[in-house]
Amino acid sequence: MSEALLTAKEIVKTYPGAQEPVLNRISAEIYLGDFTIIMGPSGAGKSTLLYALSGLDALSSGKVLYRDQELGTLSEKKLAELRSKEFGFVFQQTHLVSNLTLFENVAVAGYLEKGRSEKAVNERAESLLAQMHVEKAKDRLPSQASGGEAQRAAIARAMINRPGLLFADEPTGALNRKNSEEVMNLLTALNQEGQSILMVTHDVKAAIRGT
């Protein structure tokens, strides 16, 4: 049986002034090597759930454990360190730094990781950009790249530190059909290589890629 990477136990998220909780006693397990999909219409709380599971948003009650470590017991510093080392994030908007090239955007996250040489980080960034089919655009600024190139570079950035779990929040939401298909092909390929992925989407075609 596969190992549960991440476990949610009775999690609740309520915002001040809201009559009903956005998340109401949700329990789930995310398994090693799986491509897990959270699907639903806009406003259903999918992104809120992803942020809660990744520790980006605090819970009102309940527990989230990653490799049996409860996120809610960690200090902000320790939680940030865990996210940096163990989690990768891809969002609908790329959040690339506008004055850095695509290569620099990918590499900078690796430079922040202690104990890695600049050469090793640069080699991995080059390899990931090639894997994402963005090697020809690596010296462009985000404003000079296509939407598909920018999103594929964002996936490379998310993978630079070899995350245990990749969180993807509507990664094809801002892309046309062709670029959406390419992004999903790349995510599927990463999963087939052993990468665990948790993805939020309202796109049925994207959702069928899950395991």
pTM listed for this prediction: 0.92
CA 169 – CA 125 distance, rounded (Å): 22
pLDDT given at position 40: 81
| Residue 120 CB contacts under 8 Å (≥ 6 apart), including other chains | 110
Nearest alpha-carbon partner for 97 in 141, 129, 160, 156: 141
In angstroms and rounded to an integer, the radius of gyration of the C-alpha atoms of the chain is: 17
pLDDT tens-place values along the chain, 211 residues long: 567 899 999 999 999 988 899 999 999 999 999 999 998 877 778 999 999 999 999 999 999 999 999 999 999 999 999 999 999 999 989 999 999 999 999 999 899 887 789 999 999 999 999 999 999 999 999 999 999 999 999 999 999 999 999 999 999 988 898 999 999 999 999 999 999 999 999 878 777 877 6
Tokens linked to 203: 């796109």
The fold adopted by the segment(s) 4-204 is: Rossmann fold (3.40.50)
- Report how far residue 198's alpha carbon sits from residue 97's, in angstroms, rounded to the nearest whole number: 24
The structure tokens listed for 43 are 């406003």
- How confident is the model at residue 114, as a pLDDT? 76
The three-class DSSP label of residue 165 is: strand
Which two tokens mark 160? 């630079």
Q: Measured between alpha carbons, how far is residue 132 from residues 96, 190, 208 in Å?
A: 16, 10, 21
What count of residues does the chain have? 211
Q: Give how far Cα 34 sits from Cα of 59, 113, 181, 194, 196, Å.
A: 24, 26, 20, 8, 5
Q: Roughly how many angstroms between the first and final C-alpha of the chain, as a whole number?
A: 15
For residue 117, the tally of other CB atoms under 10 A from its CB is: 10
